A and B are shown apart, each in its own frame.
Chain A
Amino acid sequence: MAHLSDMPEKQRNMIVNQDLPEYDDTPCVDGPALNERKIAIITTAGLHRRDDTVFTPGVGEYRIIPDDTDMNDLIMSHVSTNFDRTGFQQDLNLVFPIERLQELQAEGEVGEVASYHYAFMGATPPMAHEAVAKDLAGLLHGDNVSGVILAGV
């Protein structure tokens, strides 16, 4: 994660001027202990299976990554050149920590790993994602997912 103070002015302004929700002093929602939760991963790394359609810049959309996917089959069609890809290229778990999540489940820290995980492509205006994000939230709820790790790149 880059601090705003480290960013070039143009990128900093693009983030600061986003139309985002304000929470004031609203507390986070209550829920069960971590070892009773079912966890899914949502990455913004533009990952998908080799046979899936590549991401389209500017379009709100996601790809499904079932937990029985051969993770060696995941490729990245993210449009941006301005984040490090060499880490992902050396180790998928650096952006999509599926094996780490499975380990935490085996250790009893996490209750359950969800059957489906999801990928978005960042560098897309947040409001373009709103409709599909709401739809996906409903799907996650229906799948009894009670916690999501949002892993941004």
Chain B
Amino acid sequence: MRPPRALAVPFELGRPFGAPNESDFQRRVLLAALKLLERTDGPFIEDFPDGPPGPPADMEGWTCPVNLALPQTDLSDAEKLALDLKQEVALLRPWYEESVKNFKGRRLDGLTEFSAEEIIDFLVSFVDDPSIESFMDGQPVGRALKLTSDDLKHFYFQAAMAKPGSISDIQMGDWYYGETLAGKMFLKLRELCLAHESEALQMIGRTNFVPNAMLKHA
């Protein structure tokens, strides 16, 4: 087998073509990679010379459309936790719907068929009793936790993107894990999985709920 051609790009992991909504720059990166097909030397790794356009996303003044006052919810009170989470979702829903319109109908959630409110009930039931069985047919409890929690997180993320402007993963993460009750619950899910007797859930707890860069909010 002959070697592949590689273009090394100086962009953040998850952003292989540079920056969102920068079509000219994305096209430059793509063409630079494709042009390597015409080289017959190698093996080689070519460097792309330029960083992504625009100021660092962290420098921009993004704010969430909704000012969520993080309630002093006792996470051991399952009924109150579910109610407060559903209140948070209700505050965000108009902005989620606005964001879907801005995205021309594109929705980021939909990994499961459950509503945000149903997902809250599932996740809170696990927080209340980590020994529960899976609540999704054909999926072990760990995978069910991951898919439903991602759906809930994507709902929040889409609501947070309703206002124009670019946002970075650090800004979004600091908001979600530091300023929302849902994020606080994610930190609790991680903690419960790490302490679980199931090795599969321990592994899921290590990697599936909270990015390493956001453990500062634990």
Asked if A and B bind, the verdict is yes
Mark A residues whose CB is within 8 Å of B. 1-2, 8, 21, 23, 25-31, 33-34, 37, 39, 50, 54, 56-57, 72, 75-77, 79-95, 97, 99-101, 103-104, 109-110, 147, 149-153
B: interface residue count bin: 35 or more
Main secondary structure of the interface of B (DSSP, over half): loop
| A75-B167 contact, Cβ under 8 Å, with A31-B37, A81-B211 | no
Main secondary structure of the interface of A (DSSP, over half): loop
Interface string of B1-30 (1 = CB under 8 A from A): 111110011111111111111010011001
A-B contact count (CB 8 A): 166
- Is the pair A34, B35 in contact by a Cβ cutoff of 8 Å? yes
Given A28-B42, A31-B37, A100-B17: 11 more A-B contacts, CB < 8 Å: A28-B43, A33-B38, A34-B34, A72-B105, A75-B108, A83-B12, A84-B168, A89-B158, A90-B21, A94-B19, A97-B30
Name the one of A29, A33, A87, A101 contacting B19, with C-beta atoms under 8 angstroms: A87
B37 contacts across to A, CB distance below 8 A: 31, 34, 37, 147
- Is the pair A27, B166 in contact by a Cβ cutoff of 8 Å? no
Identity of the chain A residue whose Cβ is nearest the Cβ of B169 in the assembled complex: A84
Mark B residues whose CB is within 8 Å of A. 1-5, 8-21, 23, 26-27, 30-31, 33-35, 37-44, 103-111, 143, 146-147, 150, 154, 157-158, 161, 166-169, 171-172, 207-213
- Is the pair B210, A89 in contact by a Cβ cutoff of 8 Å? no
Q: How far is the CA of A23 from the CA of B42 in the complex (A)?
A: 9
Q: How far is the CA of A56 from the CA of B143 in the complex (A)?
A: 9
- Is the pair B26, A1 in contact by a Cβ cutoff of 8 Å? no
| A93-B166 contact, Cβ under 8 Å, with A86-B157, A151-B16 | no
Identity of the chain B residue whose Cβ is nearest the Cβ of A39 in the assembled complex: B34
| A75-B111 contact, Cβ under 8 Å, with A95-B14, A97-B26 | yes
Q: How far is the CA of A34 from the CA of B26 in the complex (A)?
A: 18
- Is the pair B40, A30 in contact by a Cβ cutoff of 8 Å? yes
- Is the pair B13, A104 in contact by a Cβ cutoff of 8 Å? no
Q: How far is the CA of A95 from the CA of B19 in the complex (A)?
A: 10
B114 to chain A: closest CB distance in Å? 13
- Is the pair B12, A109 in contact by a Cβ cutoff of 8 Å? no
- Is the pair A72, B111 in contact by a Cβ cutoff of 8 Å? no
Name the one of B10, B17, B35, B147 contacting A97, with C-beta atoms under 8 angstroms: B17
Name the one of B172, B208, B212 contacting A8, with C-beta atoms under 8 angstroms: B212
